Structure 1
């Protein structure tokens, strides 16, 4: 943080679910921890930090969970969608063969009666089991992995584990690709931090490497490429407050 106070510019990259907001059984009610929005808004308004949310959610879902925030940049669906700070929207095209594999995966979900647990995205499908019993989770996980096994072997497709589910999606882009693009845009003197909680954030930690600070935000520690571990919400709020104080010097 001492280097941050003298840096001409900085960039704060933030995952959403599990990082800025606690997980909820109803994912449409996963609002940020109290105090997070106010601090992040103050960081943005300082004019010294480019704040970017990099999330697995579609951008439209994230915007429904956050109050309007000026100059907030968002990369959605692991980098597929990009909402610039000025409101410009960009989207990466999905190859037809990827779309066909995902269509097959969706048909399988229907046949397996798992659609009530499913989330359909442009570049992937997720099965969520948060809130189920341990026995039910075991059955849903085993059944989904078996049902999607052949599809997961197709070129350009990846089966991802995340906190509370599985996602079959286009292998690219991923959060690491989004972070790589962001880093390329930044001046070499820009101080960077990426905060994330999930296994899908490891791509971002790996890409950032020594170029910035990688922070694991999680109640329980796990093996990670991150440099620092914070427990939410208090240690998360402390980090954000310290960031704000450092750029306000």
Structure 2
């Protein structure tokens, strides 16, 4: 059940992190590691995040994974890390392993055709500049636009895509700054479940996210795992606690490094 998460971390959180035999740290990107900006191609991490991620990547007994709604191909220019962490993209439809191999869940041919028709309808309606085609979805973005322009884009997208979604068993998902027409069957929760299944017994799984799409990930966490809402303003969530970005997020990652180095 969704409730307002408590501010700050549980009292036993850091001792549990320190003594966990293995740790799985899963991080959303937009709104969590990076601020929302009008130009999504310039949504770089908060200052200091890259350096902390680089240190986390070589930390003993911590597996670092980025879980995002973006396409995997979007992430290297934004993260600018070498090596890159493991990345799950498109709400679990894509996966880039830490070694660079990319795996994708194949879409039904009918879905591919439907997404192409949705693209064509949006282009015909004159909103092509705000479209983003992902491997398993089509999104329209209106972050940073004035209310009149935003309302028009939302109206056009809803009108043009609603019938396609209903007739082809697709889903319309609002997100912070836009609307997405998505193939059902995969969510960030699937990424969390698969990552947990791959982890050895006793692994402490922790997921940090901000958006409604992260609620699937919070729900997929197991008993004893921890979901953390990263958000300035409180809202109902399946997460158990909340941190404010960027300062509390940065302090969280610094403390994770310090505690894990102390605990081995």
2: distance between equivalents of 1:131 and 1:111?
23
2: distance between equivalents of 1:18 and 1:60?
18
What is the match of residue 158 of structure 2? 145
| C-alpha displacement of 1:101 | 1.2
Q: 8 Å contact 1:156–1:172 — kept in the other structure?
A: no
1: distance between equivalents of 2:115 and 2:19?
48
1: distance between equivalents of 2:163 and 2:62?
44
Ranges of 4+ aligned residues in structure 1 off by more than 4 Å: none
TM-score (norm 1): 0.96
What is the match of residue 255 of structure 2? 242
Unpaired runs of at least 5, structure 1: none
1: distance between equivalents of 2:249 and 2:17?
17
Match of 1:196 among 199, 209, 212: 209
Q: 8 Å contact 2:76–2:84 — kept in the other structure?
A: no
Please state if 1:160 is matched with 2:152.
no
Q: How many residues were matched structurally?
A: 249
Q: How does 1:105-116 map to 2 (within 5 A)?
A: 105-116=118-129
What is the match of residue 43 of structure 2? 30
Give the secondary-structure state (helix, strand or coil) at the position aligned to 2:221: helix
> Could you say what the CA RMSD is over the residues aligned between the two structures, in angstroms?
1.3
Please state if 1:219 is matched with 2:232.
yes
Please state if 1:182 is matched with 2:188.
no
TM-score (norm 2): 0.91
What is the match of residue 98 of structure 2? 85
What is the match of residue 95 of structure 1? 108
1: distance between equivalents of 2:39 and 2:210?
19
Q: Which moved more, 1:127-136 or 1:152-161?
A: 152-161
